[in-house]
């Protein structure tokens, strides 16, 4: 009887964890997906949220259960049954987390390879951070702007650098950032997929105006983009 009820508890809690995993992967904690990489990053993120939820519920559940269940009873001053360890149990809780993190590492590596796969004919946009503005240059077009315009569904290669201290070019809806470091050009690949206006923020502390080092990216149809570019020339 006792063994059967333990078995039932194990089955029920495993089912609950599976349901918890699936529910947690549905949580929407990210901003709009506005690039191809955002979709892949979010898939990875959801798997991690699900896994994290299972680990969290399991550990906190055991903690709270143990704290309530194994309280010292009033007047009982004796010690508990001495158990110094259990090799099988210790191997299990070494091996399972190791397998989980290796799986996550492998998956993360795959996503990384995918989002950094160079596109055949990217459009190059030079990004220059300066205290406390962003400048965007469209090479070959003779255009420099302080607002970023991009044609939708066109692979972009940002070439990012800085004119003074380190900044970091970040569009949350694109799911990625790259530091703008003086003396270096860093590459960052994005293919915008959503027409709309999104914030560009500086993510590296760069001085008193850091918080206001913002502008916007306007993702538009190729025709609108060409019209804007022509208007700037």
Partner 1 sequence: MSMSTEAVSPGRGWRRYFTWNTDHKVIGVQYLVTTFCFFLIGGLLAMLVRAELAQPGPDFLNGTEFNRFLTNHGSVMLFLWIIPVLAGFGNYLVPLMIGARDMAFPNMNALSFWLIPPAGLIMLASFFVGAAEAGWTAYAPLSIQTPVGQTLWAVSVIILGTSSLLGAVNFVTTVFTMRAEGMTFWRLPLFVWGMLATSLLVLLATPVLTAGLVLIAMDRMAGTLFFSASNGGDPILWQNMFWFYSHPAVYIMVLPAMGIVSEVYPVFSRKPIFGYKAIAMSSMAISILGLTVWAHHMFTSGMDPRLRIPYMISSMIIAVPTGIKIFSWLATIWDGKIRFTTPMLFALGFISMFLIGGITGIFLAAIPIDVHVHDTYFVVAHLHFVLFGGSVSAVYAGLYYWFPKITGRMYDERLGKVHFVANFVGTNLTYLPMFLAGLLGMPRRVSDYSPEFTTLNLLATLGAFLLGTSALPFIYNAVVSWVSGPKAAANPWRALTLEWQTDSPPPAENFHQPPVVNSGPYDYGQPMGVSGQAQAVPAVGD
Binding site for Cu ion (CB under 5 A): 167, 202, 206, 213
Task: Specify the residue, 5 or 233, whose C-beta has the smaller distance to partner 1.
Answer: 5
Sheet holding 214-220, edge to edge: 148-151, 214-220, 196-202, 167-171, 176-180
144 binds, among partner 1, Cu ion, none (CB under 5 to 8 A by kind): none
Q: What is the per-residue DSSP string for 149-170?
A: EEETT--EEEEEEESSS-EEEE
5 binds, among partner 1, Cu ion, none (CB under 5 to 8 A by kind): none
Least distance between Cu ion and beta carbon 204 (Å): 6
Least distance between partner 1 and beta carbon 161 (Å): 9
Alpha carbon distance 201, 203 (integer Å)? 6
Task: Specify the residue, 164 or 224, whose C-beta has the smaller distance to partner 1.
Answer: 164
143 binds, among Cu ion, partner 1, none (CB under 5 to 8 A by kind): none
Beta-carbon contacts of 167 under 8 Å, excluding residues fewer than 6 positions away, are: 129, 130, 179, 180, 202, 203, 204, 206, 213
Least distance between partner 1 and beta carbon 5 (Å): 18
Task: Specify the residue, 34 or 225, whose C-beta has the smaller distance to partner 1.
Answer: 34
66 binds, among Cu ion, partner 1, none (CB under 5 to 8 A by kind): partner 1
39 binds, among Cu ion, partner 1, none (CB under 5 to 8 A by kind): none
Least distance between partner 1 and beta carbon 164 (Å): 7
Least distance between Cu ion and beta carbon 214 (Å): 9
* Residue 2 buriedness (CB in 10 A; 0-12 / 13-18 / 19+): exposed
Compute, in degrees rounded to 10, the torsion defined by CA atoms 202, 204, 207, 209: 20
Alpha carbon distance 153, 228 (integer Å)? 17
């Amino acid at each position: 009887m006792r063994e059967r009820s333990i078995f039932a508890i194990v089955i029920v809690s495993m089912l609950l964890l599976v349901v918890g995993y699936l529910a947690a992967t549905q949580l929407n904690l990210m901003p709009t997906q506005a690039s191809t990489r955002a979709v892949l990053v979010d898939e990875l993120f959801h798997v991690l949220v699900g896994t994290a939820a299972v680990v969290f519920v399991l550990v906190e559940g055991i903690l709270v259960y143990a704290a309530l269940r194994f309280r010292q009873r009033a007047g009982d001053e004796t010690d508990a049954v001495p158990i110094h360890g259990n090799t099988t149990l210790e191997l299990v809780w070494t091996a399972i987390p190791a397998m989980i993190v290796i799986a996550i590492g492998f998956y993360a590596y795959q996503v990384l390879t995918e989002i950094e796969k160079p596109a055949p004919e990217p459009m190059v946009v030079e990004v220059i951070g300066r205290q406390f503005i962003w400048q965007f240059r469209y090479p070959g077009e003779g255009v420099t702007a302080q607002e970023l315009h991009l044609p939708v569904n066109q692979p972009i290669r940002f070439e990012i650098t800085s004119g003074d201290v380190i900044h970091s070019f970040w569009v949350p809806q694109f799911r990625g950032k790259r530091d703008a470091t003086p003396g270096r050009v860093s590459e960052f690949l994005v293919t915008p997929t959503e027409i709309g206006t999104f914030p560009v923020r500086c993510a590296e502390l760069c001085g008193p105006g850091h918080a206001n080092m913002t502008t916007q990216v306007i993702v538009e149809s190729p025709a609108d983009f060409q019209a804007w570019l022509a208007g700037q020339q």
